[in-house]
Chain A
Amino acid sequence: MAHPANQRGAGSRTARVGPADGEVAPLHLVAPLWNAGTRGIRGLSSAAAPEGNQQKGRSLLQFLADRFYDVQALREYLFRKQAWKMHQKNRPFTYIKERYGPYAAGAYFILKLGGAVKFQGKEWIRSDARGHFSLDFLKLQMVPIEAVDASGCAVNYQGLDNLLALKELQVLWLQRCPHVDDWCLSRLHPLANSLQELSLAGCPKISERGLACLHHLQNLRKLDISDLPAVSNPGLTQILVEEMLPDCKVVGADWAQGLKLGQEEQYRDIASPIPA
């Protein structure tokens, strides 16, 4: 294994409470703290062998600490599995795209993630609470999609492939999407001709750097950038985005948000009477 072969400075490590071999050095902090803590609490009162429960807990922790690399590999596996699941949700639906057209593929993608789709001239199609939806839209092969509501859906950079094929998309709602970030915003430029309404409210990963690449969307008339926690200066960003998109109505942070102190001073000045 890499760590034991590479570990030097065993001189500094043996000073700590722990085994002499370097193999469990990174995690050995856990077990000694446990020991030190309980010894401190029990102190001199019960110098005898510790209670049964602690014994079991300690041996489980010891067991895990001995198998540090296995636990780490297991955690890395779980992390990769989570990433794979996200990847699966955002896979390109090439079969549906070839068979039924890009609009059907986009609609299937959004409905599968739990969003809603509106075809031109039809009503909103939404999946129910269980995630089931009717496949009637597969018959509407040539009808373009004009609105997509992907609020709260796990759309990511890969999944946007399915949305970018919708050339007549006018309304796109990406409120509270946890995986939509600046990279995704940089991908929206193919929709510049048709997109008129875009909502990014509450997306945790979007910052002002991603908002800077919205200037491609010159037909945008309504943009919602409220409640973006990653934006460093919401008031200033609002002003800059309004300057960048002059024909668009930008809803979001109040431009005076960063100027609270100034406002109070102004009120105070008005309140105090001018000496005659």
Chain B
Amino acid sequence: MLRTALRPRWGRALLARGLGSRRGGSAPDQNGKVSEIKKKIQSVLPGGAWNPLYDTSYLPPEHSDVVIVGGGVIGLSVAYWLKRLEKPRGAIRVLVVERDHTYSRASTVLSVGGIRQQFSVPENIQLSLFSIEFLRNINEYLAVVDDPPLDIQFNPSGYLLLASEKGAALMESNVKVQRQEGAKVCLMSPEQLRNKFPWINTDGVALASYGMEHEGWFDPWCLLQGLRRKVQSMGVLFCHGEVTRFISSSDHMETRSGEEVTLKRIHEVHVKVDRSLEYQPVECAIVINAAGAWSGQIAQLAGIGKGPPGTLQGTKLPVEPRKRYVYVWHCPQGPGLETPFVVDPSGVYFRREGLGNNYLGGCSPTEEEEPDPGNLEVDHDFFQDKVWPSLAQRVPAFETLKARSSWAGYYDYNTFDQNGVVGPHPLVINMYFATGFSGHGLQQAPAVGRAVAEMVLQGHFQTIDLSPFLFSRFYLGEKVQEHNIV
């Protein structure tokens, strides 16, 4: 090829790409023009990419191997690992459908951005450990040629979980599990706590666990943009639209024991364009439900949960949006630069934000006080009544804080056991879930993306075994309860 390119120009007829047509001022090249006309005819014929009547470049393609519903950090992570683990390169066509291209209500960007390994379920710890390794080497994983490196602004300040007398034994056993998995956590008595952090009031605290390494908080927007940039460079298509319908077909099969089972397969995804009735049916092989707080609705569209209750057909995806508030305040006498992400036994948490004595935090309300998830309006009375008293009790300096601003975001809350749902549905055989993380989705996103990609490409989990997180546990009633939910 090198020799043909450097050969003198009278051999132009041999060049197959019609380069002659691009050289301004050269003699007209018949062969180049013919190949150009051939290409134009090919693109007009069905299957080609050109519509002569109007510009349809805003519509998704008509065929795609994998359709990922949801373009947040989980959806993009799945797209990234699918393209990274596919063999051969370029084999799989991936389409990411996101209905809100400004990400104004996405949980990813409204998140506080913390990452920790202090969980009680070993799989969660492993997911978090891989994710922190991913974030540390983010410029090797998400490097795009000629683009600047990413700075996720990671604060390695660690998490400080406080436990009262009741929770001390549970915390000790949790720390044992965490250390076994490789997390660097140390237990502190109230005395040691007072020595290390003099601004804490240790009344009611029996034990504290402090993450020394691999824990802290970072900027989720940067991670999202980095993933977006990288998956675009790998050839993943983005579509700004909403999934409104699944066209599927059913097959009646018999299990080995003679039971009748109806297996469903999704053939088409209808993607509706924003503010229009127009939709594009996308033929697909696999659908990945990474819609976050709205995954329950997507699952309902696919017919999951339509059946008599108590059966596998009647088991719904128990993921629903739950609104959580985050408040930002300023306190000039507050804790200094060494402040970790502190989580009180009452559920109130806070962390330092920047260098100007600003802090942000909040609290997860109890089941009875759950706010209406219809909108993202902030309830300021909640701060006054529930958050501030606990803050002032734990850190006396916070008695004189001044609230600055606040925002609200959704948790994709798994009402069953507050842990993620990963893997295929047993009946709708080509829908895979990657949702339901109940507030720790961002910190597990890179690892979950890899697990789902392995499940799609190889049929089983390879690096981290997430079989306890499959959908079937909702039908079988096997709860994988996570105790350390913030």
Q: Which residues of A contact B (CB under 8 A)?
A: 1-3, 5-12, 17-22, 31-32, 35, 39, 47-50, 59, 62-63, 66-67, 72, 75-76, 79, 83, 157, 182-183, 185-187, 189, 207-213, 215-216, 232-233, 236-237, 240-241, 243-244
Contact = CB atoms under 8 A, between A and B. Distances in A.
Contacts of B51: 11
A18 B255 CA distance: 57
A77 to B, nearest CB: 11
Interface residues of B, number: 52
Contacts, number: 132
Given A6-B235, A19-B21, 9 more contacts: A2-B234, A10-B49, A10-B50, A19-B17, A32-B22, A39-B24, A62-B5, A209-B216, A212-B157
7 contacts: A8-B57, A8-B61, A9-B57, A10-B43, A75-B145, A209-B157, A212-B157
B478 interface: no
A5 B17 CA distance: 18
B142 to A, nearest CB: 12
Nearest to B4: A63
B156 A183 contact: yes
B158 A2 contact: no
Contacts of A12: 55, 57
Nearest to A28: B22
Contacts of A10: 43, 49-50
Nearest to A63: B5
B6 interface: yes
B140 interface: yes
A66 B356 CA distance: 53
Given A3-B235, A72-B145, A209 B155 contact: yes
A240 B336 contact: yes
B328 interface: no
A contact patch SS? helix
B355 A189 contact: no
A241 to B, nearest CB: 7
Given A210-B156, A233-B355, A49 B50 contact: no
Contacts of B61: 6, 8
Nearest to A86: B140
Given A10-B49, A186-B156, A212 B55 contact: no
B36 interface: yes
B62 to A, nearest CB: 9
B156 A1 contact: no
A76 B143 CA distance: 9
Interface string B49-77: 11100011100010000000000000000
B336 A213 contact: no
B212 A18 contact: no
A243 B335 CA distance: 10
A233 B354 CA distance: 10
A215 B338 contact: yes
A211 B352 CA distance: 14
A2 B5 contact: no
Contacts of B49: 7-10, 22
Contacts of A59: 5-6
Contacts of B2: 63
A75 to B, nearest CB: 5
A174 B281 CA distance: 58
B83 to A, nearest CB: 8
